Amino acid sequence: MRRRSRVLAAWLFLAPALAVIALFTVVPFVQGIQLSFQSWDGVSLDTPYVGLDNYRYVLHDTQFWGSMKNAVLYGVVGLVVANAVSMVMALAVHRARRGSAFFRTVYYLPGVFSTVVVGVMFSWFLDPNIGVVNQTLKAVGLDGLQHNWLGDPTTAVIAVAAVFVWYHWGFGFILFLAGRQDVPKELYEASSLDGARGWAQFRYVTWPGMSHVTGIVSVLTLLSGLQIFGTVQVLTNGGPAGHTEVPTLHIYQQAFQYSEYGRAAAMSVIFGLCLIALACLQLWVSRRLGGSTDSRTEKGR
């Protein structure tokens, strides 16, 4: 009787959460898959099935695949550059001790800003006429290096990636710092007894000790690089000529500018499945690395 009432209570406690998540997350996800086989203009009540038409369209949509390529580029640049900066700075702050609270606060500050505001900021810095970059070049007599940074496909792509690094590295930094603090002190003491210094200590103590955090930060950075949206919309709106386009923006435009909701849904499914596969990889990796570091510290003791 009592057990039964506790079971009932558990489901009552869970009910609001399950209801909201089911209705506003699970149902739309399933309906999105359904919509990818339909045609919808966003207004009419009629949503006829069109079979694989949407997917056939997406397959030949070079803009979409270009945007996927850009997403991978932003994700990989974030993964390599932002994470390298994050880790170096985390190790530096851990080492410095003095002023660490100040540096921590400042390094994460850009991460507090919204993607839209970051877009506004950098579109000003990079403006060909009134941007600080070109104005500075002119002031120091390097007029020749002035450039329409966001108007040239190559530099525009680099600019978006750079802005992402600026915006994002503080997040990885926070996690790496937490991860570094969790590496047991005894391991460093033991390794310095063995004569390990600098690089060797990093290679054989810090790096393996932080592999769990590194795995998580890597995938989180990769995922958010792939999903860049607000910053790109404000900075370049995908331009020039779609060269900085990202999937989320392309999906948004298909739906809300061209009223092709079915096609947008098909792109959502394709892009979404890629992201989900990556996230699963993260779960798997963090489980595995988590397990192996645990066993390593156990052995160490």
Shortest Å, Cβ 255 to another protein = 5
- Output 63 or 227, the one with its CB closest to another protein: 227
Residue closer to another protein by CB (options 138, 203) is 138
Residue 268 C-beta: closest distance to another protein, Å: 5
Q: Which is nearer to another protein, 56 or 287 (CB)?
A: 287
Rounded Cα distance between 131 and 143, Å, is: 13
Residue with tokens 């156990």: 298
CA-derived radius of gyration, the chain: 24
Q: Which amino acid, 45?
A: L
Residue 209 has φ and ψ, to the nearest 5°, of -65, -25
* Pick 153 or 233: Cβ nearer another protein: 233
CA distance 148 to 158: 13
- Inter-CA distances, 234 with 21, 150, 160, Å: 31, 11, 11
Minimal distance, residue 138 CB to another protein, in Å:
8
Residue with Cβ nearer another protein (80 or 277): 277
What's the rounded Cα separation, in Å, for the pair 170 and 24? Answer: 31
Cβ at position 1, least distance to another protein in Å: 14
Minimum Å gap between C-beta 135 and another protein is: 5
CA distances for 262 relative to 22, 29, 199, 251, angstroms: 22, 14, 54, 10
Kindly state the smallest distance separating residue 263's Cβ from another protein, in Å: 10
Q: Taking a C-beta distance cutoff of 8 angstroms, is the pair 206, 91 a contact?
A: yes
Nearer to another protein, 240 or 272 (CB): 272
Torsion of CA 4, 18, 112, 181, to 10 degrees: 40
Given the complex with another protein, which of 129 and 154 has the nearer CB atom?
Answer: 129
What is the closest distance, in whole angstroms, from the C-beta atom of residue 281 to another protein in the complex?
Answer: 10
H helix or E strand, kind and range, residue 191: helix 185-193
